[in-house]
């Protein structure tokens, strides 16, 4: 071990047994031990609230606690300290029961040697450090799971909910106890549509076979509001390739969908406006041709037959030109009106 010394909490009501254990440790010579001894469980627990220990050597028979209850009390109060039980020869069955639960190892009084106690302590401390690292890693992963902005849930391969994060619970207005142990498709957010339920059952079966599924769909949330979800199901496999968990992820994309709908609506309005513009341009082009034709004809007649036309005929042609100009002016006014409407 890399640590210079190991801090040992010895809980033993027999002064002679406690002294013998400390002498056994001192004879090892390979480690530096810091041993703190108490005869009562309550005193040991009080010390744990003030100091940090690497391991506890715990006698099962104490003045204020007896048997497996001693282990249970200590582990409940201090779950992060590795426990090595000290037991009499006839208590070995109880010690084995303790090891099957929260105890790391046990030592039988009268059979303890420097090598056996040194090996037990080193092994348990190292194992405790590994377990501590695993707990810290699990805690970090749980924090990420709970605090991520996306909805997440863990399912069995059959689709039974094991856990949901707070984002998902908030989205659907549910409590953890309302969801755990239920098939995902039985939640109110899915059962408003039998089509959604059947689809969900089918993709759970696919994911349980190892497929990844992603789809955009609508589900009901709090207050029976319908929201758009970017929904995915991913299989989690063990080292043999067997699917052991299904990971559900969901992003609320309702705002995005509403924005897309507004964009599509704007595009449609733009398309309709462009069609109107095209029709208007065609109409204006056609309407311009008539007065232009009148002007051109009148001008040609005046140029070619000016000396042969009477004043009345000339006046008529000039009148036609003026009428055509007014028509063109009116058309131009309409074009300007449409232009201002489009700009504003």
CATH number reported for the structural domain that contains residue 63 in this entry: 3.40.50.2300
Question: Do residues 187 and 179 touch, judged by C-beta distance below 8 A?
Answer: yes
Q: What is the SS3 assignment for 97?
A: helix
* Domain end marker among 121, 145, 169: 145
Whole-number pLDDT of residue 308: 82
Q: What percent of the chain has pLDDT over 70?
A: 87
Q: How confident is the model at residue 36 (pLDDT cuts 50, 70, 90)?
A: very high
> How does the average pLDDT of the chain come out, rounded?
82
Q: How confident is the model at residue 13 (pLDDT cuts 50, 70, 90)?
A: very high
Whole-number pLDDT of residue 1: 45
The strand pair at 83-87 and 213-220 is best described as unpaired
Tokens of 78: 């201090």
Q: Are 114 and 215 in the same domain?
A: no
Tokens of 103: 């105890």
Residue corresponding to tokens 């201002």: 340
Q: Are 29 and 48 in the same domain?
A: yes
| pLDDT tops 50 at residue 2 | no
Q: Are 39 and 135 in the same domain?
A: yes
Of 248 and 136, more confident: 248
Of 99 and 126, more confident: 126
Chain segment 213-241, per-residue pLDDT in tens: 988 877 766 666 777 888 889 999 988 88
Q: Are 289 and 333 in the same domain?
A: yes
Cα–Cα distance, 130 to 61 (Å, whole number): 29
| pLDDT tops 80 at residue 137 | no
Whole-number pLDDT of residue 299: 82
For residue 222, CA distances in Å to 3, 152, 170, 217 come to 54, 17, 8, 16
The domain containing residue 232 runs over which residues? 148-252
| pLDDT tops 90 at residue 58 | yes
* Domain end marker among 252, 273, 290: 252
Q: Are 164 and 139 in the same domain?
A: no
Whole-number pLDDT of residue 73: 92
Chain segment 270-327, per-residue pLDDT in tens: 888 778 777 777 776 667 777 777 788 878 887 787 788 888 887 887 888 888 888 8
Q: Are 26 and 133 in the same domain?
A: yes
Q: Are 50 and 172 in the same domain?
A: no
Q: Are 210 and 317 in the same domain?
A: no
Does the residue 72 lie in any domain? yes
């Amino acid at each position: 071990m890399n640590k210079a010394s190991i801090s040992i909490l010895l809980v033993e009501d027999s002064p002679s047994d406690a002294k013998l254990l400390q002498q056994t440790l001192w004879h090892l010579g390979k480690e530096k031990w810091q041993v703190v001894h108490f005869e009562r469980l309550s005193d040991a627990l009080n010390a744990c609230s003030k100091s940090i220990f690497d391991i506890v050597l715990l006698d099962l028979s104490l003045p204020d606690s007896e048997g497996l209850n001693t282990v249970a009390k200590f582990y409940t109060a201090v779950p992060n300290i590795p426990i090595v039980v000290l037991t009499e020869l006839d208590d070995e069955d109880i010690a084995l029961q303790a090891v099957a639960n929260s105890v790391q190892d046990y030592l039988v009084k009268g059979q303890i040697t420097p090598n056996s106690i040194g090996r037990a302590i080193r092994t348990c401390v190292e194992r405790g450090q590994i377990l501590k690292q695993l707990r810290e890693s699990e805690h970090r992963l749980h924090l990420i799971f709970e605090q991520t902005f996306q909805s997440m849930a863990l399912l069995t391969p059959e689709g039974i909910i094991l856990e949901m994060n707070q984002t998902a619970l908030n989205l659907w207005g549910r409590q953890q106890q309302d969801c755990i142990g239920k098939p995902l498709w039985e939640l109110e957010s899915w059962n408003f549509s039998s089509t959604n339920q059947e689809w969900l059952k089918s993709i759970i079966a696919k994911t349980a076979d190892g497929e990844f599924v992603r789809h955009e769909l609508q589900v009901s949330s709090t207050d029976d509001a319908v929201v758009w979800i970017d929904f995915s199901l991913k299989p989690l496999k063990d080292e043999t390739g067997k699917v052991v968990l299904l990971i559900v992820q969901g992003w609320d994309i309702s705002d995005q969908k509403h924005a897309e709908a507004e964009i599509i609506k704007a595009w449609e309005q733009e398309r309709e406006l462009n069609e109107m513009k095209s029709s208007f341009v065609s109409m204006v082009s056609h309407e311009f041709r008539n007065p232009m034709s009148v002007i051109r004809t009148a001008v040609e007649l005046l140029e070619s037959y000016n000396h042969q036309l009477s004043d009345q005929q000339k006046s008529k042609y000039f009148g036609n030109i003026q009428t055509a100009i007014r028509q063109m002016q009116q058309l131009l006014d309409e074009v300007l009106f449409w232009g201002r409407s489009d700009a504003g």
